[in-house]
Amino acid sequence: MRPTALFTLLTLAGWCVPAAADTQQAVLACTQIGDPAARLACYDRATGSETPPAEKAAIDLSESARASFEHGKAELVFTSTSQTTAGDTATDATAYTPLSLAFDLDRNHDSGILSARPHRPIYLLPGWFNSSPNRYPSSPEHRADQSDQNHAETKMQISFKTKLMEDVFGTHADLWFGYTQISHWQVYNGSMSSPFRNTDYEPEFILTQPVKADLPFGGRLRMLGVGAVHQSNGQSDPLSRSWNRLYLMGGMEWGKLTVLPRLWWRIPESRREDDNSNINRYMGYGDLRLHYRFDDRQTLGALMRYNPASGKGGVQLDYTFPLAGRLKGYLQGFHGYGESLLDYNHKHNSIGIGVMLNDWDGL
């Protein structure tokens, strides 16, 4: 992709998504207000409405299991929703967490369907340092010529999602489309004309279902979901990498800690079309995302993958802090395999610093 095209896409994404991100951050701020009347007024200002949308009832998993056992057939039991508007009680206020706002678990977003919403972070890391550049990218199917890479480069990501359908199946489930694009740009490598070394494209469909179940140590299971995702780098052989997966996911909370595990199954490809037949060996069969939100808008995050059979995996650590307005400073570190598709079987350590453009740390 040409640099001008990427910057155009990055700019458009930065303008499209912040409006929804601003609303989500404003609603999160309302949860810190103790007085019910003041909190309700805060919700009204944040959403731009006098009457917030009705709450969504989640499937109560324990009650559904009990009712199904008693009646001898599958039966769904939903949680009761408050008869007052959201924000009237402390329970209502604490429900609107980052996980709830990301996937409309407690109420549908005012923007409705087919509007640009935050998905994963939009960021720019002008300084991204790689301890061990992958100068001979390879896979069992391909062996590339030497690539003269610099240790220092720029890393950037754009991401958004939109709701395609809401409240489907009569269970308040939602269908989403998400898109994420990550680029590594050898901007400081003038001898090679500063090329884009790799860009990963990741469209996906996600079906989410609000649920309710208590977990140990005061945790709550808030969401179950399934998804289908394609990821590829759009390059020709011998640098082409791609895979398709189906996954199961969950959304859990322990106070300000959000936990999202995923388990995936790679859709098989023919030997002729498979560019990376051993990718599961390095990327594993799932991942675990952690996100902790502090009161002062600082956040800590982690993304972990591990394949116990091969002993290989990777971990990414994230730290964000407020700078000005919705602009945040961003520090990211990575260790292991799979920092990009091209490097799925190459182990290295990387660290970078830059800015997050949409004040939404992603889930």
Annotated catalytic residues are: 230, 232
3-state secondary structure the chain: CCHHHHHHHHHHHHHHCHHHHHHHHHHHHHCCCCCHHHHHHHHHHHHCCCCCCCCCCCEEHHHHHHHHHHHCCCCCCECCCCCCCCCCCHHHHHHCCHHHHHHCCCCCCCCCCCCCECCCCCEEEEEEEECCCCCCCECCCCECCCCCCCCEEEEEEEEEEEEEEEEECCCCEEEEEEEEEEEEECCCCHHHCCCEEEEEEEEEEEEEEEEEEEEHHHEEEEEEEEEEEEEECCCCCCCCCEEEEEEEEEEEEECCEEEEEEEEEECCCCCCCCCCCCHHHHHCCEEEEEEEECCCCCEEEEEEEEECCCCEEEEEEEEEEEEECCEEEEEEEEEECCCCCCCCCCCEEEEEEEEECCCCCCC
193 in a known ligand binding site: yes
64 in a known ligand binding site: no
- Per the structure block, which two tokens stand in for 81? 């929703």
Q: Is 159 annotated as a binding residue?
A: no
CB-based burial label for 50 (10 Å; 0-12, 13-18, 19+): exposed
Cα radius of gyration rounded to whole Å, the chain? 22
Identity at 124, one-letter amino acid code: L
Pick out the residues of the known binding site for Ca(2+): 193, 240, 275
